[in-house]
Amino acid sequence: MKANQDSGYGPSLASSEHDEWRKHRRIAGPSFTESNNVLVWESSIEIILGYFIKWNRDGKGSTVKVSDVMDVTTQIAFMVFATAGVWDLAAECELAD
């Protein structure tokens, strides 16, 4: 049984094998550069610190109860993708000038 048969999202780098995996890796590879990794880490730290500041400001103190951790982590992931992508695009625009 091929791995992508279990995937609800269709074939991808994570769910493909052999030649199909190499194709997906070749397409996705340029996104995984050291500079992109730095952008992702920097934006992740900034976003998480923002959550801590907000929770502290809202009076939640040192203990925060989250009813659905998937909601929070999904929001964080979207914000990281958006901010890292925007920063990377801004850097490319500066290089183009």
> For each of the chain's 97 residues, which pLDDT tens digit applies?
344 455 566 777 677 788 888 887 888 777 778 888 888 888 899 999 998 888 888 887 778 888 899 998 999 988 888 887 665 555 555 545 4
Report whether 13 contacts 25 (CB < 8 A): yes
Structure tokens at 28: 């996705």
Structure tokens at 27: 């397409």
Report whether 85 contacts 35 (CB < 8 A): no
Query: In sequence order, what are the residues at sequence separation of 6 or more whose Cβ sits closer than 8 angstroms to the Cβ of residue 93?
Result: none
The pLDDT value given to residue 81: 83
Kindly list the domain boundaries of the chain, sorted by start residue: 1-32, 33-97
